[in-house]
């Protein structure tokens, strides 16, 4: 990471941040640089950052409120993230990363897409070869449209040569929709039927797989806190997408969704007040430290074989839906191997274990709510 500073003839201070602010000390360097120039009119540009830490977010929020700040970002992901927290930036769209297009055809045949996914796996290490082909093709086409590309062959070549372009496609592959206490009736069922089992263990270990921006593991932490069990709980929360993991670690959420969050919270049957778990920071809220410190967020992909083990509960909702039955089965087998005897699995509303041979590893605990129990060996 590098920071360039210069003052122009109008005494505007231009700060350009090159690279990601990855570590605590890089964030410190940025904050110290800003502290030194903050009385001036500031133009800050983030060239490469997709995500910023919560101290930087707070600094930008305060600068925008109290000083004259213009913010420029080159990554659409960062633009949306800041916007959701009430921080307004100018998105400088780079021109299409594709040049010299000659091909006319738009469509990609499934066989071509499969070969392309194989190439991506070899070049970048992300394995999408066992994702539902229709859905992945739609996402490729959406990315091609955004990049104004018509030829699949050229697109494929460019993705394999240009890491920046792959980053765009990767974000198209990632559907991160989530909310606090999503499908609250499921949380209610977990509270009434699963938590009584969990409470009998000296320590509780939970894995939230495909956790997106963190609302789901934080909801679990809130629920367990209200039930007096958080102190003896450790939650592992993982996702394939490193940017959502960084967002989750920040624990900053827009106030715009507050009504829906509170409605879900109430319907989940958890007693207490949703807002007791947050500090209001302006147009956004920050999750309390006592909840944050009980969750270990890290990047992890369910397409590999690596198991994280000895969990009492695994929650993996609205993730398997994007996988072929073969990959679903592989993930379910991994979950079974990662669970303690008598461990529980919670899947999403539209998911199940019937068409992927999941009954080899699990039995129904409450079919309607997609709660399953590991089969005894």
CA dihedral 43, 167, 302, 122 (to 10 degrees): -150
Q: Does 151 bind ligand SAM (CB under 6 A)?
A: no
Stretch that binds ligand SAM, among 163-171, 175-183, 266-274, 335-343 (CB under 6 A): 175-183
Token pair 């992909």 is found at: 301
Pick between residue 46 and residue 322 the one whose CB is nearest to ligand SAM.
322
Binding to ligand SAM in span 294-313, by CB under 6 A:
301-303
Q: Find the part of the chain contacting ligand SAM (CB under 6 A) among 49-57, 97-105, 116-124, 174-182.
A: 174-182
- Spatial strand order of the sheet with 371-374 comes to 295-299, 233-239, 204-209, 311-316, 339-347, 371-374, 362-366
Token pair of 325 as six digits: 């039955």
Give Cα separations from 331 to 110, 130, 211, 228, 336 (angstroms): 24, 11, 15, 31, 9
Q: Of residues 225, 318, 328, 338, which one binds ligand SAM by CB under 6 A?
A: 318
Greatest pairwise CA separation for the chain in angstroms: 75
Q: How far is the CB of 191 from ligand SAM (least distance, A)?
A: 17
Is residue 257 near ligand SAM by the rule CB under 6 A? Answer: no
Nearest distance in Å: CB 249, ligand SAM: 14
- Give least dist CB 7 to ligand SAM, A: 42
171 binds ligand SAM (CB under 6 A): no
Q: Residue 84 interacts with ligand SAM (CB under 6 A)?
A: no
Query: Which of the stretches 46-54, 73-81, 153-161, 208-216 binds ligand SAM when contact is defined by CB under 6 A?
Result: 208-216
Give the DSSP letter string of 201-214. Answer: SSSEEEEEES-TTT
Stretch binding ligand SAM (CB under 6 A), from 71-79, 94-102, 164-172, 240-248: 240-248
Nearer to ligand SAM, 174 or 267 (CB): 174
Contact segment (CB under 6 A) with ligand SAM among 33-41, 90-98, 235-243, 305-313 equals 235-243
What is the C-alpha to C-alpha distance for residues 20 and 16, in angstroms, rounded to an integer?
Answer: 12
Minimal distance, residue 256 CB to ligand SAM, in Å:
17
CA 186 – CA 341 distance, rounded (Å): 22
List CB contacts of 325: < 8 A, sequence separation 6 or more. 355, 356, 357
- Closest contact distance (angstroms) between CB of 142 and ligand SAM is 16
Comparison of 212 and 233: residue with beta carbon closer to ligand SAM: 212
- Give the other-Cβ count within 10 Å of 233's Cβ: 21
Burial label, 177 (beta-carbon count in 10 A; 0-12, 13-18, 19+): exposed
In whole angstroms, how close is the CB of 63 to ligand SAM at the nearest point?
A: 30
Query: Is 334 an interacting residue with respect to ligand SAM (CB under 6 A)?
Result: no
With vertex at residue 196, the alpha carbon angle to CA 192 and CA 235, rounded to the nearest 5 degrees, is: 95
Helices (H), 162-241: 163-173, 184-189, 195-198, 215-226
**Binding-residue total with ligand SAM (CB under 6 A):** 22
Single out the segment in contact with ligand SAM by CB under 6 A; choices: 17-25, 149-157, 160-168, 205-213.
Answer: 205-213
Q: Which of 169, 262, 165, 257 is nearest to 222 (CA)?
A: 262
* By the rule CB under 6 A, 330 interacts with ligand SAM: no
Residue 274: helix, strand or coil by DSSP?
helix
Distance CA 215, CA 306 (A): 24
**Could you say whether residue 177 binds ligand SAM (CB under 6 A)?**
yes
* Residue 182 binding ligand SAM, by CB under 6 A: yes
With CB under 6 A as the contact rule, the residue among 50, 178, 264, 338 that binds ligand SAM is: 178
Using CB under 6 A, list all residues that contact ligand SAM: 174-178, 182, 210-212, 216, 239-241, 244, 301-303, 317-319, 322, 348
């Amino acid at each position: 990471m590098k920071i360039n500073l210069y003052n122009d003839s109008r005494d505007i201070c231009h700060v350009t941040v090159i690279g990601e602010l990855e570590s605590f000390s890089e964030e410190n360097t940025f904050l110290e640089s800003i502290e030194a120039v903050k009385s001036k009119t500031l133009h800050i540009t983030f060239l490469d950052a997709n995500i910023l830490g919560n101290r930087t977010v707070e600094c930008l929020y305060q600068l925008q409120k109290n000083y004259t700040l213009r913010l420029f970002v080159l990554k659409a992901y960062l633009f949306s993230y800041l916007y959701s927290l009430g921080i307004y930036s100018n998105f400088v769209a780079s021109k299409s990363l594709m040049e010299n297009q000659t091909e006319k055809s738009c469509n990609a045949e499934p066989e071509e897409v499969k070969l392309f996914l194989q190439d991506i796996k070899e070049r970048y290490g992300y394995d999408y070869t066992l994702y539902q082909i229709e859905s992945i093709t739609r996402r490729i086409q959406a990315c091609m449209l955004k990049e104004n590309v018509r030829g699949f062959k050229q697109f494929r070549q460019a993705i394999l040569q240009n890491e920046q372009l792959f980053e765009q496609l990767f974000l198209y592959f990632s559907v991160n929709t989530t909310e606090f206490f999503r499908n609250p009736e499921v949380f209610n069922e977990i509270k009434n039927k699963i938590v009584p089992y969990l409470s009998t263990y000296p320590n509780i270990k939970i894995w939230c797989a495909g956790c997106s921006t963190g609302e789901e593991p934080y909801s679990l932490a809130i629920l367990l806190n209200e039930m007096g069990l958080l102190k003896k709980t450790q939650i592992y929360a993982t996702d394939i997408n490193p940017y959502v993991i960084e967002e989750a670690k920040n624990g900053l959420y827009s106030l715009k969704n507050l009504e829906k969050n509170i409605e879900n919270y109430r319907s989940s049957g958890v007693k207490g007040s949703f807002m007791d778990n947050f500090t209001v920071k302006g147009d956004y809220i920050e999750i309390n430290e006592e909840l944050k410190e009980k969750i270990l967020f890290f990047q992890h992909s369910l397409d590999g074989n690596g198991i994280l083990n000895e969990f009492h509960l695994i929650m993996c909702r609205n993730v398997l839906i994007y996988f072929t039955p073969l990959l679903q089965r592989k993930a379910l087998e991994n979950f079974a191997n990662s669970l303690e005897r008598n461990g529980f699995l919670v899947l999403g509303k539209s998911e199940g274990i019937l068409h992927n041979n999941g009954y080899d590893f699990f039995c129904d605990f409450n079919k309607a709510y997609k709660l399953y129990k590991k089969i005894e060996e």
